[in-house]
Structure 1
Amino acid sequence: MSKSLFRKKSIVSILKDSQDGLSDAHGGGELNKVLRVRDLTALGIAAVIGAGIFSTIGEASYHGGPGVSLLFVITAITCGFSALCYAEFASRVPVSGSAYTYSYVTFGELAAWVIGWALILEYAIGNIAVAISWSGYFNNLLAGIGNAIGVNLSFPGWLTSNYDSASPELYAAAPHIAGIPIILNLPAFIIVVLVTYLAYVGIRESKKSANFMVGLKILVILFVIVVGAFYVNVDNWSPFMPNGFSGVLKGVSAVFFAYIGFDAISTTAEECSNPQRDLPKGMIYSLIICTVLYVLIAFVLTGMVSYSQLKVDDPLAFVFNAVNLPKVSFLISVSAVIATTSVLLVFQIGQPRIWMSMSRDGLLPRKFSTIHPRFKTPSFATIVTGFLVGIPALFLNLTIVTDLTSIGTLFAFILVCGGVLLLPPQEKNPHSKRFRLPYINGQFIVPVIVILFAYLFRNELPQRFSFAGGWEVWKHNIPFFFFVVAALIFTILSFVKKLSLIPVLGLLSCFYLMTEIGFRNWVVFFIWLLIGLTIYFCYGYRRSKLAQA
């Protein structure tokens, strides 16, 4: 019996368990192997292009102006480093679990639990936000249809709001039970129930639905780009960065939230017909397609109206209303409903599979790894996910949900990039079609890059380490202080041990993006991790399969 907190699963044992079917944990069934490159790319695009491009892009454009297009490229490069690291792991460890499974192989059980717990934050909290966003777009869509036919089809305000954001007028208009006003977000709950059912009845149905929604969504987005280009006023692109580069960086969390999702592809590894070949391609293709669309949309938005007008919840619909194109604005509402539905679908597929992997390893009760005998899906875990997302979506107004989701996801990316550095080297096989992460010696490149960035930000660095504003100001710089320490450590390690460039740059770039997220969200994130560690030491540590071995 292993007592170590860092006991690891071997890649060989993981692959063998997958091939054997794990009938004792699966409930006697295996998952359908039906996904190919096209399907994986569609799932990635479905997860990435959603709430971000239809809502948070407005806030980012307001702060960064046309320069927000650079932030999309910077964030895409950061995600690209992580995608390549995910691809290296996924091609070696083609089983479901995403960063959780990958961390179990390289860092050991404690780190695997931490990352699995953080991924719950990413998927569940992120999906609550998406469900609430879907509700708003859907109600706007109903209002538009109602105006066209002269009938009020929209939900009353007390059925699309929450206690935190409800106005005094809404409190007065809402029905009361025992003197308590009833205010909830019913559409958000309904869409979670419907999507959870779709995920429950099987990956084949979910795959077909995702492919349809992605195809329609991209057609609408391309239509928006083409039509909007005719209404662009190039004068709006000047100044390019009205609030400087610091203004552009204010949109980090919103822009990164728009990219969250491509890692969800790796959680469907067991449903791929050829995971070692198809998973890496699906990740990279979806990331490239989404980046091109984001940059084009950013230029269209900031070209059609001044960046100063874009601090709105529905920026795409807003700009077309601003140029007197209400029909296109209506089309945006339709697309937004489809987009957020597809994001919800992919995350509802991904979360149960992470729980399934944790259950197989004994870190969660065995019930979470039960596979439905007919639908071949993790049935119990899917139902629990539905409750975890649906119930809070009824009542919550998650003002920090974007930052919380981003910080959890970036944390996962950091561990994946770090994990690649710890993977044992493999002999080259010219006949193998497995993806291999290109090795670029970072011995001199990493120090040069770090020195270059220190020079470019030489005016900002003294402010970051200044105590002039007292604790209330300096506490927000604590994450940046740890980033500087990490950058120095990896610079030295890269020079001494000739570390691979791509995972080092991925780790440091993700860490830097985390430093741009508010201090309050770091506090909440650490509280979440403490809760997870409590559960691990009270249950998973003793019941782990490695503990019994």
Structure 2
Amino acid sequence: MATGVLRKKNIAEALEMAETGKFKLRRELRAIDLFFLVIGITVGGGIFVLPGVMAAQHAGPAVTISFLIGAVVAIFTGLCYVEFASMVPVAGSAYTYSYLALGEIFAWVIGWNVLLEFTMVCSAVAVSWSGYVVELLKNIGLQIPAAFTADIGHGGIVNVPAVLILLVVAFIVYGGISQTGKVNDIISVIKLLTVLFFIIIAIPFVKPINWHPFLPFGWKGVMTAASLGFFAYGGFDAVTTASEETKNPNRDIPIGLICGLVFVALLYTIVSLVLTGMVHYSQLDTPAPVAFALSYVGKRWGGGLVAAGAICGLFTVMMGTMLGSSRILFALSRDGLLPPVFSHVHVTRRTPYFSTLIVLAVAVLMAGFLPLGVLVELVNIGMLTAYFLTSISILVMRVKQPDVKRPFKVPAVWFVAPVATIGVVALICSLPKATLIRFAIWSIIGLIVYFGYGVKHSRLAQETQSPADVAM
């Protein structure tokens, strides 16, 4: 049994399976699509909130340094993902990489948790999107009954706007990867224009005196803020779940993912710099610091700008996470760890349509009816665990399979991967104990599913069975 749960996938077999007719997805995405997918997932409504809150509570104007430190850990981790994605460009992301390097049971735990991560983010973001839309409608005189804008736990019946937007997102993702990429590109450009518009409008109001003192909370505050800033880049791993749908993954994934992360880091840094230059950091501890800053300098339409940017930003986050969760579910099923129905591919669209519908159903139930509360805390730990094992796996592969063709190689890998690993472990240790306990409980539930179904139906298990075993 111990040997069975540690069995590893072979790179050649993984690549061959990706080209098998009934499992074959359509390769449509280009580097520019992956670039905008990174932006779509990582730049949500938080860009209008995080810089101000982090500055006011932890780092002051040095929040710019915090975002850069967070970016270094994110980019180092991203480099590990890129090497794997160019080496084995198939669906699954961290799940597939762990399967190759560490073994089936590690892969299952990661796949199970990343599946929860993406689905939870999709649901939580739908609820946030609903809040912005309801507020926007209220400002123009349209009122939706409270019973249809909140979940049962908050006195409502069902969050109708959240359910409706998830249906729209699922329709786009279901329609094919080309359609998903184009819609994401367009909305991401609109979102970027919104952020750039704020920067251009705000620059004339920047007063360098507001940057003094630059380190009011010391370096400890900067590092605390950096741990929060790292989560601003979270979700980029969803891009590598689309490796199997990328035209030229060996070239496009490194360009799209790394350029995307660098661009997002610059965007957060510039917004932080401008924001703390407009208003003294001590005044930014508000739910909407960007809107407050614009109002502070006489631009009363700040709330509208934030709402427009958030609505666009959150929409692309939902698309990226629904895409990622459906591809993880597809990969788990294709490997036999979940029932085969989840890996059915649409005949013409070449998308895992049943997985998309299942993710939609679960996301709708959570967003429409359930208070997300403590469940959302599981998102961070699931994401960090995936980053941790991917950084470890890249070193294992360098030792165990040094001669495998690597179109992209992590530079200075024995420095980059350990730094990424240490950074991620530090973040895991900073999470509340209750979150770690919930993560353990969810993982145990996953192991029950694995030993009840996956370990017996695993494709690798079927391939290694003797004729006598099959006859039995």
Please, what TM-score do these two structures have when normalized by structure 1?
0.80
Cα distance in structure 1, aligned partners of 2:390 and 2:83: 10
Q: Deviations over 1:334-354 (max 9, x none)?
A: 111001001111111111111
Residue 210 of structure 1 and its aligned partner are, at CA, apart by 0.4
Higher Rg: 1
Amino acid at match of 1:128: S
Map residues 161-176 of structure 1 onto 2, 5 A cutoff.
161-164=150-153, 166=154
- Counterpart selection for 1:47 from 38, 41, 50: 41
How far is 1:252 from its partner? 5.0
| 1:326 counterpart SS class | coil
CA 66–396 in structure 1, closer or farther in 2 if over 3 Å, else same: farther
- In 1, distance between residues paired with 2:149 and 2:213? 39
| Letter aligned with residue 257 of structure 1 | F
CA distance in 2, matches of 1:400, 1:301: 31
**Aligned residue number for residue 38 of structure 1:** 32
1:524 is displaced (CA, Å) by 1.1
Work out which of the residue numbers 57, 60, 66 in structure 1 matches 2:54: 60
Q: What is the distance in 2 between the residues matched to 1:221 and 1:277?
A: 29
Q: 2:410 aligns with which of 422, 437, 441?
A: 437
Report the Cα distance in structure 2 between the residues aligned to 1:404 and 1:331, rounded to whole angstroms: 31
Counterpart for residue 539 of structure 1: 453
Give the Cα–Cα distance (whole angstroms) in 2 for the partners of residues 388 and 315 of structure 1: 33
For the pair 1:194 / 2:168, whether they are aligned, the reply is yes
* Distance of 1:161 and 1:75 partners within structure 2: 34
Q: Which residue of 2 aligns with 1:495?
A: none
Change in CA separation of 1:386 and 1:312 when aligned onto 2, cut-off 3 Å: farther
* 2:369 matches 1:395: yes
- Choose which of 179, 183, 186 in structure 2 pairs with 1:212: 186
Partners of 1:183 and 1:251 lie apart in 2 by: 37
Q: Does 1:422 align with 2:387?
A: no
255, 258, 264: which is aligned to 2:229?
A: 255
Q: Is the 8 A contact 1:253 1:406 kept in 2?
A: no
2:470 paired residue number: none
Q: By how many angstroms is 1:134 displaced?
A: 1.0
Q: Which structure 2 residue ranges, 5 or more long, are not aligned?
A: 464-472
Q: How far apart, CA to CA, are the structure 2 residues paired with 1:394 and 1:314?
A: 25
Give the conservation status (yes or no) of the 8 Å contact 1:253–1:403.
Answer: no
The structure carrying a bigger helix percent of its residues is 2
Query: Deviations 1:253-293 (Å, cap 9, x if unpaired)?
Result: 64233211211111111111111111111110100000000
Correspondence for 1:311? 285
Alpha-carbon offset, residue 91 of structure 1: 1.0
2:303 to 297, 319, 329: 329
Q: Check conservation: 2:292, 2:302, Cα contact below 8 A.
A: no
Which whole-Å deviations, capped at 9, do the CAs of 1:45-83 have from their partners, x for residues lacking one?
Answer: 111111321334443233122222222111110011111
CA contact (8 A) 2:45 2:311 kept: no
Which segment drifts farther, 516-525 or 226-235?
A: 226-235
1:470 is matched with: none
- 1:175 aligns with none
Distance 1:317 1:530 in 2: 43
Q: Which residue of 2 aligns with 1:177?
A: none
Q: CA deviation at 1:295?
A: 0.5
CA distance in 1 between partners of 2:266 and 2:333 (Å): 38
Using the alignment, how far apart are the partners of 1:252 and 1:73 within structure 2? 8
Query: Which residue of 233, 236, 241 maps to 2:210?
Result: 236
| 1:495-506 equivalence runs, <5 A | 500-506=414-420
Where does 1:8-27 land on structure 2 (aligned, <5 Å)?
8-21=8-21, 23=22, 26=23
- 1:155 matched to 2:150? The reply is no
Compute the displacement of 1:427 (Å): 4.5
Change in Cα spacing, 1:191 to 1:58, as seen in structure 2 (3 Å) is farther
The amino acid that maps onto 2:78 is: A
For residues 155 and 309 of structure 1, the distance between their equivalents in structure 2, rounded to whole angstroms, comes to 33
Please state if 1:529 is matched with 2:439: no
Q: Structure 1 185/66 Cα, relative in aligned 2: closer, same or farther at 3 Å?
A: farther
Give the count of matched residue pairs: 460
Contact in 2 for aligned 1:99/1:416 (Cα 8 Å): yes
Q: Shift of residue 20 of structure 1?
A: 3.1
Residue aligning to 1:142: 137
What is aligned with 1:291?
265
Aligned to 2:116: 121
Give the C-alpha shift of residue 378 in structure 1.
0.7
Structure 2 residue aligned with 1:406, among 368, 373, 380?
A: 380
Quote the Cα distance in structure 1 between the aligned partners of 2:145 and 2:210: 38
**In 2: Cα distance, 1:362 partner to 1:2 partner:** 18
Equivalent residue, structure 2, for 1:451: none
Identity %: 38
2:197 equivalent to 1:223:
yes
Query: 2:467 — aligned with what?
Result: none
Matched residue type, 2:102:
F
Taking only aligned residues, the RMSD between alpha carbons, in angstroms, comes to 2.1
- AA at the equivalent of 1:326: R
SS at match of 1:230: helix
Match of 2:320 in 1: 346
The one-character-per-residue Cα deviations of 1:57-114 (angstroms, maximum 9, x if unpaired) are: 4432331222222221111100111111001111111101010001000000000001
Gaps of 5+ in 1: 147-151, 167-180, 441-499
Code of the aligned partner of 1:528: W
Instruction: Name 2:421's counterpart in structure 1.
Output: 507
For residues 129-165 of structure 1, what are the alpha-carbon distances to aligned partners after superposition, in whole Å with 9 as ceiling and x for unaligned?
2111111222232234x1xxxxx1243444333455x
The corresponding residue for 1:458 is: none
User: What is the one-letter code of the residue matched to 1:63?
Assistant: Q
Q: 1:111 is paired with a residue of what secondary structure? A: helix
Give the letter aligned to residue 161 of structure 1.
A
- 8 Å CA contact 1:269–1:279 kept in 2: the answer is yes
Give the TM-score normalised by structure 2. Answer: 0.92
Distance 1:59 1:160, change over 3 A: farther
Taking the aligned partners of 2:242 and 2:152, their CA distance within structure 1 comes to 37
CA distance in 1, matches of 2:14, 2:410: 21
* Deviation (angstroms), 1:4: 1.7
After superposition, give the CA deviation of every residue in 1:158-210 in whole Å (9 maximum; x if it has no partner).
4333455x5xxxxxxxxxxxxxx544422112111110111111111111100
In structure 1, C-alpha distance between the alignment counterparts of 2:133 and 2:51, rounded to whole Å: 19
Q: Report the counterpart of residue 125 of structure 2 in structure 1.
A: 130
